Chain A
Amino acid sequence: MEPVRIDAKGLHYTPLNQQIRKAVSEGATDIIVDNVLGQRFIADGLKGEVTIRINGVPGGDLGMFMNGPTCIVKGNCDHAPGNTMDSGKLVIHGSAGDAVAHSMRGGKVFVRDDIGYRGGIHMKEYGEGHKPILIIGDNACSFLGEYIAGGVIIALGRSGKVFGGRGVGSGIHGGEIILRGELKERQLGVGAKITEFTEEDLEKIRPYIEEFCEYFGIDPEKYLDTKYTKIVAASSRPFAGKYVWE
């Protein structure tokens, strides 16, 4: 089947999504959306096995509650792509705003360049096959992985800039945050701790890095070593000692 082409020029997000849903229901597996300019909620709540190529800059909450599809964005993204996404993939050829992958439960988000504040906040994994992955090509701002309860966040720091954010992993009670390069203790949030990044860890994240590099035409070799800092939860019960009974 030929890819379905949708022109988003001047289109509000609801009719745009309606066109996408209609194409999916008619069996489209490849959809190209041109002239995207700030439309929010693209593929919001969308289910199915479909690849959506987005040419332009989508607005907030791209792929929110999405379950299955792949969105490839040729451009930057506004805030919260992958918000509460269940499964599927977002591949962003550019940077993204704040709260990327907020509460993501599964699936993968690949951002070629930078992301804003609170990336990966509340990401959670559970049961079999619900493990969210967020890979950032370059850098993230502060409060990366706040309240994360599962899944993996990786920041490759491709430009070589030192990670300057603070509050990393505040309230973390599960999952892993893996940053290329060093991180100072004072950059950690409450409840987070730095632990050794081992060869075994590298093997675990290798497929994600390779997949990332494949999408963006990058040689993965440079990123397949152990020059990472791994941040995990000091406890899965960060508030266990906070309360006393009446």
Chain B
Amino acid sequence: MSLGSVPLKYRIQIDRQQCMQCMRCVDNCSYGVFREEDDGNILIDSRKCTACHRCISMCPRDAINLSERPVDYRSHPLWTPEAREDVINQSRSGRIVLAGMGNAKDYPIIYDRLVLDACQVTNPSIDPLREPMELRTYLGQKPSKLDIRKQENGDFELNTKLSPNLELQTPIMIGHMSYGAISLNAQLSLAKAAAKTGTYMGTGEGGLHKDIYPYQDNMIVQVASGRFGVDINYLERGAAIEIKIGQGAKPGIGGHLPGEKVCTDVSCTRMIPAGSDAISPAPHHDIYSIEDLAQLVRGLKEATEWKKPVFVKIAAVHNVAAVAAGIARSSADAVVIDGFRGGTGASPKVFRDNVGIPIEAAVASVDQKLNDQGIRNKVSVIASGGIRNSADIAKSIALGADAVYIGTAALISMGCRVCGNCYRGLCPWGIATQREDLVSRLDPEVESEHVANLINSWTLELSELMGAAGINSIESLRGNRSRLRGYMLDEGTLDVLQVKPVGA
């Protein structure tokens, strides 16, 4: 082949002095990096390594070393090794390059250029240890005014009809990752964690497996264009329903689960034929306008007798604020905005890295637009896509979100090392795979504890951050941009965020 192969990305080395030849690395690597030779030696094929770190975690002797392998291309500021390797890859295959797990381009991270406020001398901070901190969050439409009447017997009566809301004990939810894309054990871990922490998680577009039924009160069931797994029982089981229009890692394109992953169980859960590709194209073929979206929102509400909130998820794109304002008028109860850092198992690389806008700007502009139009109460705003810590959450809320979805962070808390190879179905951590031996590596009891710990610790940190800012209720943080300052952000971005620069 005249093009030859591209150089390997990672180098695996074993410290032979340390190694006790237990062969755990051989057993654990689903990509086949390690092979036991007849003489008991271990042969390494670094070319197959994805940097998933499974071997390193399992090695009892800490004998394995993994390093990125800088390649000696002629250095060039434009033609980076990656750019050249993609060209080589595509010249050989003539295909679209698939990539996983979040935008990998070096865009500045706005979160890291926003700083939070804290009280000093002139106004008191609040000590979350002894003061109650209110992190409970309600998602859904809020009335613009309440009609309360005093009855003759002195009791008060609420005459306003309230819309159904979701009650969260923390503003942190777990985003939609479908059965099929991730394993049942992974979903179970997340579902248990959501139940333990009093929050919700999304089913993704993969339907609701019967093993998840015990956690259905903590599930938000998703309806995507292919309507996978959707029937009336599914809709009735969910605590809320989410219509997926777009997602941050691949705005404007749909979902596609390859046929190899559609085993009998996945087929029944998704309600699709076994072994065939599960295709849900970007457009819903009954939605071509906001009016059509309203039709689906109302159709879902009517089917469930107006008892459940309906969310609409869109990717953060250029005119996101206008789209969100339309959604707010469609009878939807919440709009989910997924920024361009959103992760996914498989996205065309060109989309993952180039399409969409940062979540920080999207949330701020949506919140602003809804406020300007006087309809902010009509819809809750949920931010997602690349949220890495509690500070990102506090900043998202201060920019105007009611709550956030976390995705990759939850996976990392279960073992994922963001190797970005989910689309191969060989995840050595038992997360993005349906291979039974790999799935069984993930213990839902243990991993749900880890996920719950993450949510709990972030919730604790959130109350500390709020207390430091003299805020004791999440409601007072929401859209409170005066608690943010921009550091090294340009004027245009500050203007969109409606945030002052540091020192101002």
Chain A residues near B (Cβ < 8 Å): 13-14, 17, 21, 40-41, 44-45, 47, 60-61, 64-67, 79-80, 83-84, 86, 98-99, 102-103, 105, 118, 121-122, 124-127, 130, 146-147, 149-150, 171, 173-174, 236-246
| Closest beta carbon of chain B to A146's beta carbon, Å | 7
Choose among B93, B95, B230, B420 the residue that contacts A84 (Cβ–Cβ < 8 A): B230
Please give me the residue from chain A that is nearest to B284 by CB atom: A102
Known: A124-B273, A236-B259. A41 touches B285 (CB 8 A): no
Find out whether the CB atom of A83 lies under 8 angstroms from the CB atom of B299.
yes
Find out whether the CB atom of B259 lies under 8 angstroms from the CB atom of A240.
yes
Query: Which residues from chain A contact B424 at a C-beta distance below 8 Å?
Result: 245
Known: A122-B227, A237-B259. A44 touches B279 (CB 8 A): no
Q: How many angstroms from the CA of A79 to the CA of B233 in the assembled complex?
A: 23
Find out whether the CB atom of A130 lies under 8 angstroms from the CB atom of B295.
no
Q: Does B199 contact A (CB under 8 A)?
A: no
Q: How many angstroms from the CA of A61 to the CA of B286 in the assembled complex?
A: 10
Q: How many angstroms from the CA of A242 to the CA of B348 in the assembled complex?
A: 10
Chain B residues near A (Cβ < 8 Å): 89-90, 92-93, 95-100, 225-227, 230-233, 235-236, 256, 258-259, 267-268, 270-277, 279, 281, 285-286, 295, 298-299, 302-306, 346, 348-349, 420-421, 423-424
Query: Which residues from chain B contact A79 at a C-beta distance below 8 Å?
Result: 286
Find out whether the CB atom of A124 lies under 8 angstroms from the CB atom of B302.
no
Query: Which residues from chain B contact A236 at a C-beta distance below 8 Å?
Result: 259, 273, 275-277
Q: How many angstroms from the CA of A166 to the CA of B127 in the assembled complex?
A: 68
Known: A126-B271, A236-B276, A237-B276. A105 touches B231 (CB 8 A): yes
Choose among B99, B233, B273, B298 the residue that contacts A149 (Cβ–Cβ < 8 A): B273
Query: Which residues from chain A contact B277 at a C-beta distance below 8 Å?
Result: 173, 236-240
Which of A21, A61, A150, A171 has the most chain B CB atoms inside 10 A of its CB? A61
| Closest beta carbon of chain B to A74's beta carbon, Å | 23
Closest 10 pairs between A and B when the two form their complex, measured CB to CB: A45-B303, A103-B227, A244-B95, A244-B93, A236-B276, A246-B99, A41-B302, A86-B231, A65-B232, A243-B98
Please give me the residue from chain A that is nearest to B352 by CB atom: A246
Q: How many angstroms from the CA of A122 to the CA of B224 in the assembled complex?
A: 11
Pairs A–B under 8 Å by Cβ, sample size 16: A13-B302, A65-B303, A84-B231, A98-B286, A99-B286, A103-B226, A126-B267, A126-B271, A130-B271, A173-B279, A174-B273, A174-B276, A240-B277, A243-B346, A243-B423, A244-B90
Choose among B233, B258, B423 the residue that contacts A245 (Cβ–Cβ < 8 A): B423
| Closest beta carbon of chain B to A25's beta carbon, Å | 12
Query: Which residues from chain B contact A41 at a C-beta distance below 8 Å?
Result: 298-299, 302-303
Please give me the residue from chain B that is nearest to A104 by CB atom: B227
Query: Which residues from chain A contact B346 at a C-beta distance below 8 Å?
Result: 243
Query: Which residues from chain B contact A121 at a C-beta distance below 8 Å?
Result: 285
Known: A124-B272, A149-B276, A245-B423. A83 touches B231 (CB 8 A): no
| Closest beta carbon of chain A to B145's beta carbon, Å | 23
Query: Which residues from chain A contact B225 at a C-beta distance below 8 Å?
Result: 122
Query: Which residues from chain A contact B89 at a C-beta distance below 8 Å?
Result: 244, 246
Q: How many angstroms from the CA of A61 to the CA of B227 in the assembled complex?
A: 15
